[in-house]
Structure 1
Amino acid sequence: MARIVVVHGIGQEFLGPEQMRGAAAPALRDGVRLAGAPPIPDEDVACAFYGDLYHEPGTRSGDLPPWDEGDVEEGLEEELLAAWWRAAAEADPAVDGPDEDGTRGLVGFGASRALHVQRVRAALDALAGSRFFGKVSDRLMVLALKQVRRYLTEPALRAAARDRVAAEVGPDTRVVVGHSLGSVVAYETLCAHPEWPVTDFVTLGSPLGLRGVVFDRLAPSPADGRGAWPGPVARWTNVADRGDVVALPDRLAGRFGERIADQRVDNGTRMHDLARYLAAPKTGAAVARGLS
């Protein structure tokens, strides 16, 4: 079995495990090399793929539904959209944030369906003008919201995604790397398997610490405001780009304990890109520590 298992994030439903591995393995090997560590062979890297779970069994949709502001559900989806909007406004001076009194923002939903749709439209328009989401269509943003919501609220999907991670971890596995929503899948799977030989957990662009939307819905549930430590892990390195709107907050030590090593990187204009995260020397150094 591979010594390193990479768990991808959202929006990969049209790919497959070999395609994901084909992209992730070279980037991670570059990160390790740029960190000055001994090179790792390609076969040391596996990808736990769960993107196909978002399709109906036996199907593979050719296009996304024509989602727009009317398809964003109240509750978790709107809360996550609001969090992205606030984070984008903090990171990008060109983005106006939501008004705290609710006149323009996502504060105060529930007055009417029309007001809900109006405020979602305002959020999508604001994010469309940000550096982070500028080239992302409404449909892709809504897709992201729905994939996060489905993972956190559909037990069968959640269990199946975690099973995909478990299938890739073997007696030789020492490092698990989780990107975006994949960091949540990896974290919960590690918590459920304290017997595994995994010593190092590396999270990239992770939303694990986002209160309300993600953090408070984790399994196991946080206790007294502190998240559980992920099972067998001895070292946890969290890597985040300061402009990554998904990495909320970009430091996890305050949620899971001071043992976490929070690291910042600069991914340029592709703040949340998996390949850029994997190729970062700080990511490579964290992975190399686990292999040594």
Structure 2
Amino acid sequence: MRTGKPQLLFVHGIGGLRDEDADRRAWLEALAAGAREAQLADEISALTQGWLADVTFADYSGLFGRRGAQGGPAGELDEEEVPFLAELLDAMLEELAEQFPAETGPQDARVIRDARFQLDAAVEGRQAQGPGETGRRLVGVTTTMLRLPGLRQAAQWMNGRAVLLQLAQVGRYLERRGKKASLGAAVRARVLDGLDPERPLVVVSHSLGTVVAYEALHEYEGEVSLWVTLGSPLALGAVVLDRLVPSPARCPENVASWLNYWDRDDIVVGRPRLADWIRPSDSGVKAVTARVDSRGLWTHTATKYLEHGSVARPVIEALRP
């Protein structure tokens, strides 16, 4: 049994360059809001003042520092990234088609069909298109997807190109060939840096951060009392699941409890399949999935999830002495 002051580790996902201190504060404030909703107001000061746990925000965003990596509007895709992105968008559209069937939402289903048509045309014509043209067509796919519920207003500040460039970070992390494999190792080292295996650990990971945490926790030598995954693409079929290490995917042996949360309007996450597609650990631990419904713009943010009492409560309880 590990002893000592608990550690709380935040692992971020796709996006631009981070301000580690600002993001750590924002995640803590969102978790405090969730604690308030869960009627755990007495724990808020202990959480935000650092009495409850030593809190680390693992910022690896600077490792995606080459041209276009930050998802800025002027960025360009590497042509080598296009096949992965096409696979990822295909998996996302497959999931969205099941979330928004024609019989319950004909308008939404039509948006998904339009995006599917654009994607198929881009893939089929890739050989005949000039350099960069397929990537430009994939921007059209993500632009169309932003017309879906929960995303329409987000297009005011998040365009299709920015979304595509940020999704490309998933492929860059999962690349295992040659020199490119060093990026994933560097990201995991950044996440695990400074953790004390002799003390209890709670991990809250989001988006690409859930993929990073999956692999990092398999390398970690300490015990993890709770692992929380938010908006996770781990179960997005072969495009992510089959690229994980170790494979076939299974819950890390050092994880005592795994809670997974998803939002129906989250463009990056599909239906909750973690419990079915990722094997339990030898001790029987596997993902327990719950849905949350966030309000406002662009639900694919960690803070949107952490503001829910149902998410904050188990994190606070796992940190209590």
The aligned residue for residue 106 of structure 1 is 120
CA drift at 1:257: 4.2
Pick the aligned partner of 1:209 from 230, 235, 245: 235
Change beyond 3 A, Cα 1:233–1:126: same
Pick the aligned partner of 2:144 from 108, 112, 126: 126
Change beyond 3 A, Cα 1:121–1:61: closer
8 Å CA contact 1:87–1:245 kept in 2: the answer is no
User: What is the number of equivalent residue pairs in this alignment?
Assistant: 282
The aligned residue for residue 177 of structure 1 is 204
8 Å CA contact 2:227–2:257 kept in 1: the answer is yes
8 Å CA contact 2:71–2:162 kept in 1: the answer is no
Change beyond 3 A, Cα 1:161–1:219: same
Change beyond 3 A, Cα 1:31–1:72: farther
The 10-residue stretch of structure 1 (230-239 or 257-266) with the greater mean CA deviation from structure 2:
257-266
Q: TM-score, normalised by structure 1?
A: 0.84
8 Å CA contact 2:275–2:289 kept in 1: the answer is yes
8 Å CA contact 1:205–1:250 kept in 2: the answer is no
CA distance in 1, matches of 2:188, 2:244: 13
SS state at 1:237 partner: strand
8 Å CA contact 1:242–1:250 kept in 2: the answer is no
Listed as ranges, the gaps of 5+ residues in structure 1 are none
Does residue 21 of the first structure (1) align with residue 21 of the second (2)?
no
How large is the RMSD of aligned CA atoms in angstroms?
Answer: 3.1
Q: CA-to-partner distance for each residue in 1:129-170, whole Å, 9 max, x for gaps?
A: 223443121321221122111111132111111111111422
Listed as ranges, the gaps of 5+ residues in structure 2 are 281-285
- For 2:123, the aligned partner's letter is F
CA distance in 2, matches of 1:2, 1:197: 11
Pick the aligned partner of 1:189 from 191, 216, 220: 216
Q: CA-to-partner distance for each residue in 1:37-85, whole Å, 9 max, x for gaps?
A: 451422232211111111159xx989543448x9684321111122333
8 Å CA contact 1:242–1:264 kept in 2: the answer is yes
8 Å CA contact 1:86–1:98 kept in 2: the answer is no
Q: CA-to-partner distance for each residue in 1:90-134, whole Å, 9 max, x for gaps?
A: 44543422489x865437925534394685355234213223443
CA distance in 1, matches of 2:310, 2:241: 25
Pick the aligned partner of 1:31 from 34, 42, 59: 34
Q: TM-score, normalised by structure 2?
A: 0.77
8 Å CA contact 1:207–1:249 kept in 2: the answer is no
The aligned residue for residue 267 of structure 1 is 294
8 Å CA contact 1:23–1:275 kept in 2: the answer is yes
Change beyond 3 A, Cα 1:242–1:17: same
8 Å CA contact 2:231–2:261 kept in 1: the answer is yes
8 Å CA contact 1:48–1:168 kept in 2: the answer is no
8 Å CA contact 1:106–1:119 kept in 2: the answer is no
8 Å CA contact 1:106–1:120 kept in 2: the answer is no
The 10-residue stretch of structure 1 (31-40 or 238-247) with the greater mean CA deviation from structure 2:
31-40
